Structures are given as structure tokens and as C-alpha cells.
Amino acid sequence: MGGAGGRHRPLSATEGRSWLLALDGTGAWPAPLTDDAAPASASATGTAEQLLLFVWGRLTLNDLKIEGDPRIFEQLIAWEPEE
């Protein structure tokens, strides 16, 4: 999982499993969403297809159900992975 201090945000698929994304200075790191996970400050819900299209920049926040602070997801949108 990402470095200490990373923020976690759940992505919940309406027809399957949900997972967490940890975003820190080194990138975004997926992990399964467990029953004992700490509460997140924001979550995004959509179909698995919608969530993947969002992560790949093909859909916007307006295409998902967002709960909590949308600025957290704006960090994910603004993140530029190193090649």
C-alpha cells in the first residue's frame, strides 16, 4: 500500500466488490474494502464500468454518485503518473 499519510477513498461498484484507493505522493494504490476499514472522507459509487472509465479519465465526477468531499477525487483526477 502507499506511503504513510496517504488518503483512502472507497470506490463502490453497484454490481460487485468495492475497493479502496490510497493516493499519496508516489501514486494511487488499490486495496480491497474490508469490514474493519476506517471511515473514508469521500466515496464514489457507480457500475464497475463507470468507475474504471472515471479512473481512466473518460467520465467525470458528475457521472458517479459522490458522497463526502469531492476535492479528494479532484486530487486523483489531477494526479499525473510518472512514466
> Residue 20 and residue 22: Cα distance in Å, rounded?
6
pTM over 0.75: no
CB-based contact 21:30 (threshold 8 Å): yes
CA atoms within 13 A on the CB side of 72: 21
Question: Mean pLDDT across the stretch 64-79?
Answer: 85
Q: How confident is the model at residue 3, as a pLDDT? A: 36
- The dihedral through the CA atoms of 56, 15, 65, 3 has a sign that is negative
Q: What percent of the chain has pLDDT over 90?
A: 17
> Residue 12 and residue 31: Cα distance in Å, rounded?
12
The better pLDDT of the pair 20, 9 is held by 20
CA atoms within 13 A on the CB side of 53: 13
